Amino acid sequence: MNAASQWSTIGWMVLCGALMGLVFDFYRVIARRFHIPRWMLPAFDVVYWAAATLGVFNVLLDHNHGEVRLYVFLGLGIGVTGYFGLLSPHVVKAADRIVTLVIGLAAWLWKAFRLVIAVPFLFLVRILAKLLDIVFVIIAAILLYVGKLLLIPLMPLWNWLWDKLLPVRRRVTAGIEGWKRLKNRIKAAWETFWKKS
């Protein structure tokens, strides 16, 4: 590998180191602003480092066929150190403002969505529900009225059957009354037994 290619790789590694620091600062700001629990941070750290490693390896594949040499780590170190020494405080402030802006924009979009889509939709749903209730009541009233009209011709037959069932009705009534009397006697006997004992 010639010197120009090596210097090009070092330059790309410096850029990768600076980008790693930039992404890490954004990650810290987001974790703080969204109150991510401490016990979840190691998992996010693993994801960050895995993504950073894959990104650096892809850049190496494109520029020096994936060869890992000492100058690769030197370039990464220069990029990370230079970024944290020169740019990190300014980036953290900018990231904080960007996150605030994104949160405000998301809240505004949510309010706009609710105002323009959700509220009218819920209003229409309520109106449709009330209309369906009214339609149901009207249909039920019509069916009851039609049912009564259809039953009018059957009323003489029903009255005749009701009269014919008079002996059966009397027996049923007598049986129910007899059961009630028997139940009361059993209850009285049970209470007397417990009082004596």
Mean pLDDT of the chain: 85
Find, among 14, 20, 152, 24, the residue nearest to 71 by Cα. 14
Residue 154 is predicted with a pLDDT of 72
Of 1 and 82, more confident:
82
Q: Tell me how many helices (H) and strands (E) the chain has.
A: 7, 0
Q: Read off the pLDDT band of 36 (50, 70, 90).
A: confident
Delimit the domains of the chain by residue range: 3-95
58's tokens: 């892809």
What number is the average pLDDT over the span 8-33? 89
**Is 37:25 a contact under the CB 8 Å cutoff?**
no
- Give the pLDDT confidence of 99-132 residue by residue, as tens digits: 999 999 999 999 988 888 888 888 899 999 999 9
Residue 72 is predicted with a pLDDT of 82
What number is the average pLDDT over the span 84-102? 91
E-strand ranges in the chain read none
Residue 188 is predicted with a pLDDT of 84
**Position 28: which residue type?**
R
d(C-alpha 79, C-alpha 15), whole Å = 6
Q: Read off the pLDDT band of 139 (50, 70, 90).
A: very high
Per-residue burial over 46-65, b = 16 or more CB atoms within 10 Å of its CB, e = otherwise: eeeeeebeeebeebbeebbe
Residue 33 is predicted with a pLDDT of 86
